[in-house]
Chains A and B, each alone.
Chain A
Amino acid sequence: MLSNSLLLAIREIRRNVLRSFLTILGIVIGVAAVIVMVTLGQGATAAVRTQIESLGTNLLIVRPGQHMGPGMSSDAPKFSLADVAALRHDLPALAAVAPAASSAMTAVAGNENWSTSVTGTDNAYLAARSWTLAAGRQFTPSELRAGRASCIIGATVRRELFGAQDPIGQRLRLKKLACEIVGLLEAKGQSSMGMDQDDLVLMPIRTLQRRIAGDQDVDVIYLSVKPGRSMDRTIADVERLLRERRHIGSMDEDDFRVRDMREIASMLAGTTTVLTSLLGAVASVSLLVGGIGIMNIMLVSVTERTREIGIRLAIGAREAEVLMQFLVEAVVLSSFGGLLGILLALGTALLLAGALKVPFIVDGGIIALAFLFSAAVGIVFGWFPARRAARLDPIEALRHE
């Protein structure tokens, strides 16, 4: 019976090529939209992940306080330079340990001024983050020890304060402190989170502590793990050492947090995954609209073909056979639409992925899902018109003009 219905349905579709095509257009677009959205979304997720991993998967960031949710941290004592020294001394797996304390400030040079972020640190900071200098030099040991007023600036600060001039040897003023510029960082551009990584001023941490902040605090410690050393073990070692130094009882929670870039990467990838699901959901609404389109055309088609249905019934078609014919017709149409949609989506996604510079990742699962869904749309939205056709009175149907 199914092969018979299939034969009848295919004959019917062939009889009305244009109408059949217009019927499935909604499904084609719906399926294509879903697959394109999901494919590009997954490509973007992969792109974000690779970008973050290129920042250095061996970087660890230690902050005081526990993460309590978006933008919230519990209160906890800051680190000190003694903590940094202990880490350097006790953990040979660490390639670089850099303290950092930051403060937002206005930098002034001549008539220009620029609001920027000033970070007190030392040379290990450049090593931990794999940053290099475009000009000038790093801090000297005596500058670091004595807390001298020298600084290294990023490309944005240089552009805003000095334009095309050579900044090395020039001075800029931070509050009342006049700093000599000893180095210029290589431009790094925007981070994957959209932040300007070149808008900063570095200075020896003692200088910042004594002459600007007026405290002994270290806000963040950046660590880079030597290649080949286990990240997880190093994290555990860092946690153990800091718990000891911060006198945390064995039953108490950490009052600091060690994060690695993998964690940040998966967090960001999670964001794009949510976005992908949202886009997919919006796109699947168009698939639903496509299904309603099929029902609409099938209903019109039942009315238009009333006489034909009468002929079939007179010839001896049973109710179930007419129902099957129309249902199979709807399913064949919608799954063919699904196939076309998949082809259209793959082509479009390939082009868009090239244009948007995200990797083209084909997910077989979502393609199979879209195809099955389009077939299901045919069954659901074809049922009502098919039943209406099957229940026609043959005499009335034959009389229909």
Chain B
Amino acid sequence: MADAAGRPEASPGSALIELRAVTKVYGRGSAAMHALRGIDLDIAAGEMVAVMGPSGSGKSTAMNILGCLDTPTSGTYRFRGVDVGTLSRDQRALLRRHALGFVFQGFNLLARTTALENVELPLIYQRVRRVERHRRAMTALAAVGLTGWAKHTPAELSGGQQQRVAIARALVTDPAVILADEPTGNLDTARSREIMDLLCAMNRERGITVVMITHEQDMAAYAGRVVHFLDGLVEPAATAVEDA
């Protein structure tokens, strides 16, 4: 807290996520690939941020770093003031378990496993007891409008329904942040709008910070702020406007 208090921008409710001069380099020497060339990005608690940019602009790399799945080559990533770069693999796993939720483009549900069991999965890792686990998973399924589909496996669900199961799985642990990587990329327009409405509702009603990558302008329009990536850098114009 003392560390956070020393910074002018670290007032309560802001700078949940704080990237400073973050670079990511894959490979070495002449084969080195600079995915991120030094980005600064602050995301406050309760924000809904859309990340846009062409393929290879580094937005997926940035999401992996934000999701604590990867660590920066240089620079710092502070999550709630904690330098993620100094955490061990297991400590980052615990951070993901308790504070982060993921929604992927390809849904990434466990096959041949019911919607209910999929949603229960993060709670199992949190050691939530059976009755409580079941109750919370059913509540999460209800929140995404899938009460009647609890016993269905992903193969028996439409794409839109699968993505809603994935959202239920992300929010069942009541995370601080949901990271969504092109959550509507595999869905038609109507389904996409339903998913976006759902994410907006989570953001608005529960105060969950949402960071999502999208290619589509009208999906980005749901967000309170749009961050543009280009060639491993955050486009200054967009961030400058938002930071002001």
Contacts and interface: CB of A to CB of B under 8 A. Distances in A.
Interface of A: 4, 7-8, 11, 15-16, 307-308, 310-321, 394-395, 398
Contact of B93 (A4, A307, A317): A317
Contacts of A308: 110-111
Contacts of A317: 93, 97, 125
9 A-B pairs with least C-beta separation: A316-B97, A316-B96, A15-B112, A318-B93, A318-B90, A315-B122, A394-B69, A311-B108, A314-B102
A191 B237 CA distance: 104
Contacts of A16: 112
Given A311-B110, A316-B98, A395 B69 contact: yes
A351 B97 CA distance: 55
B89 interface: yes
A333 to B, nearest CB: 17
Contact of A395 (B70, B112, B124, B169): B70
**Majority secondary structure of chain A interface residues (helix, strand, loop or mixed):** helix
Most buried by B among A15, A308, A315: A315
A308 B96 CA distance: 16
B241 to A, nearest CB: 31
Interface of B: 64, 67, 69-70, 89-90, 93-98, 100, 102, 104, 108-113, 117, 121-122, 124-127, 169
Contact of A7 (B70, B89, B100, B124): B124
Contacts of B98: 316
B70 A316 contact: no
B70 A319 contact: no
A157 B102 CA distance: 93
A316 B113 contact: no
B69 A316 contact: no
A315 B97 contact: yes
B122 A319 contact: no
Contacts of B121: 312, 315
Contacts of B127: 4
Contacts of B122: 315-316
Given A316-B126, A318-B94, 5 more contacts: A313-B93, A315-B97, A316-B97, A316-B125, A318-B90
Contacts of B104: 398
A384 B96 CA distance: 26
Given A7-B124, A398-B104, A15 B97 contact: no
